[in-house]
Amino acid sequence: MDNNSYKAVTIQNIDGEDFVFEYNRAAGNPPYLIKTGQTVTYPFFLAKHAVKHLINKILNKRDISTNNSAARDKLSAQIVVKEEEYNRVDPLNPNQQLKKDIEIMNKSSDLESILGKRKAQAKADKIAEAKETPKKELPEVDTTDDADSFEGLKEEVKTEPKGKIPAPVNANPTRAEMYTYAKDTLKMDMNKKVLDKLDKMKVSDVATELDYPLDKK
- pLDDT tens-digit map of 8-49: 999 999 999 999 999 988 888 899 999 999 999 999 999 999
C-alpha 42/C-alpha 8 separation (Å) is 6
Residue 61 contacts residue 121 (beta carbons within 8 Å): no
Helix, strand or coil, per DSSP, at residue 114: helix
Residue 42 contacts residue 105 (beta carbons within 8 Å): yes
Residue 88 contacts residue 97 (beta carbons within 8 Å): yes
Helix, strand or coil, per DSSP, at residue 79: helix
Question: Residue 144 to residues 141, 147, 149, 150: CA-CA distances in angstroms?
Answer: 9, 8, 7, 9
Q: What is the pLDDT of residue 167?
A: 40
- pLDDT tens-digit map of 106-139: 765 555 566 667 667 777 877 877 776 666 666 6
Please tell me the least confidently modeled range out of 11-25, 66-80, 167-181, 190-204.
167-181
How much is the average pLDDT of 97-109?
A: 72
Q: What is the pLDDT of residue 168?
A: 44
Q: Rounded to the nearest 5 degrees, what angle is found at the Cα of 182, between the Cα atoms of 180 and 188? A: 120
C-alpha 121/C-alpha 183 separation (Å) is 16
φ, ψ for residue 159 (rounded to 5)?
A: -120, 150
How much is the average pLDDT of 201-210?
A: 85
Greatest alpha-carbon pair distance for the chain in Å reads 95
C-alpha 68/C-alpha 89 separation (Å) is 40
